[in-house]
């Protein structure tokens, strides 16, 4: 008899990681790959950089000219 063994998948250390999210009915909902993590990290860095630039720009910009108050009409009491 010739029994063919199914080869077990080997984990290559260069592949990285993959997260698979399943629902309660065992259906695949989404897959998170390493590129998703890097893109998320890059987005966090860009957001932090923009917030620091915005904060510094607002801090060192000259204040807006105050609007001169207009005189309200005097109250008339009869």
> Could you give the CA distance from residue 37 to residue 31 in angstroms, rounded to a whole number?
12
Residue by residue, pLDDT tens for the chain (78 residues) are 555 556 666 655 566 788 999 999 999 999 999 899 999 999 999 999 999 999 998 888 777 777 766 777 677 776
The pTM (predicted TM-score) of the whole model is 0.51
Instruction: Give the pair of three-digit tokens for residue 28.
Output: 């695949």
Asked whether the CA dihedral 19, 22, 27, 30 is positive or negative, the reply is negative
> Could you give the CA distance from residue 61 to residue 54 in angstroms, rounded to a whole number?
10
């Amino acid at each position: 008899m010739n029994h063919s063994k199914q080869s077990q998948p080997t984990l290559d250390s260069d592949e990285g990681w993959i997260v698979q999210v399943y629902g309660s009915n065992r259906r695949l909902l989404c897959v998170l790959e390493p590129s998703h993590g890097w893109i998320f990290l890059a987005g966090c860095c860009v957001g932090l950089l923009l917030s620091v630039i915005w904060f510094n720009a607002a801090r060192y910009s000259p204040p807006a000219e105050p609007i001169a108050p207009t005189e309200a009409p005097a109250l008339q009491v009869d």
